[in-house]
Amino acid sequence: MNEKHNYVDCDRCGHWQDDRRRKEVCEQCNNTRQTIDPKDILCNRCGGPQRPLGTHNEQYSHGLEDAEITGGYDSYHLFDMTTYKFSICEKCLREIFNQFAIKPTVIDRLGSTDGPADPWAEDQEMYEYRVWKDAGGHHQAYLNRKCNFVKDCPNRAEYTQLISNDFTESCCCEEHKGLWGYGNSKLTKFIPNVLKPFL
Ligand SMILES: [Zn+2]
Ligand SMILES: [Zn+2]
Ligand SMILES: [Zn+2]
């Protein structure tokens, strides 16, 4: 608990004028203008970074950060009057959620409760799609002329998605074309990689 930390300049109040600095207290640095280096904030479970390092939000708390749990008189698995402090990163939270016998309640961004029948299953599916896409699966599927609207779709891509009339690598099969469709996006006949340079 008494580890030595490195400090960096506080981003949250870095742009404040002196006038504001006299009147307000920055909740991040308490007007010291220095804050713990986000690289020093670690997940207790995996030992990796707790924060999305290198992003604009690395000075904001992420995951279950600085959680505290204290046992009571009838506690058995924790000791009475003993406090346990820890942080768990978002990646570990995802893994722990997947081990839950009863999955977490998922409330969508708009706070709506009449979402999909199994909001956790859909959330997990979206997560797996994101990881697959970031690992290159989406791009590879496009090169192979496979639908990439869902992860590992075995079907041939028939359509390419255009956003504001610009080409994208998103492409889909007949079965999944209904999944897409927002404002400025539309589907056109599939545009293979070899034709892309001529667009
Ligand atoms: Zn500050
Ligand atoms: Zn972790
Ligand atoms: Zn498909």
Return the ∠ at Cα 117 (arms to 113 and 118), rounded to 5°: 95
- Tell me which residues have their CB within 5 A of the ion that is ligand 2: 43, 45-46, 89, 92
Residue 39 CA to ligand 1 centre (angstroms): 17
User: What was the pLDDT predicted at 117?
Assistant: 81
Spatial CA neighbour of 162 closest among 188, 181, 191, 142:
188
3-class SS of residue 52: coil
**What's the pTM value of the predicted model, to 2 decimals?**
0.82
3-class SS of residue 161: strand
pLDDT tens sequence across 2-12: 568 899 999 99
Kindly identify the ligand whose nearest atom is closest to the C-alpha of 27. 1
pLDDT tens sequence across 74-102: 999 999 999 999 999 999 999 999 999 99
Kindly identify the ligand whose nearest atom is closest to the C-alpha of 156. 3
